[in-house]
Amino acid sequence: MTDTYDDISDADRDSSNRAYNAARAEWHSHRASVAVDSGTRNLHEKFVALYRARAQAEPVSSAQPIEL
């Protein structure tokens, strides 16, 4: 049995992941803007930074290997 996930090209998967991460960044940005306390706002702002970085990250397939 073929898994549906295997039928998705790497480019489509990367695009889908970027769209998901961008949407999550926007959601956390909104939640930070309506937070009633600084702890909650700071937590959502950290997630905004995380998801925005993931949304802008280079696809894994084209990333350069790290030399150790």
CA distances from 57 to 1, 9, 24, 40 (A): 32, 18, 15, 26
| Residue 35 neighbours by CB under 8 Å, 6+ apart | 41, 44
Nearest to 41, CA basis, from 32, 29, 52, 50:
32
SS3 65: coil
% pLDDT > 90, the chain: 57
| Per-residue model confidence as pLDDT tens digits over 32-63 | 999 999 999 999 999 999 999 999 987 666 55
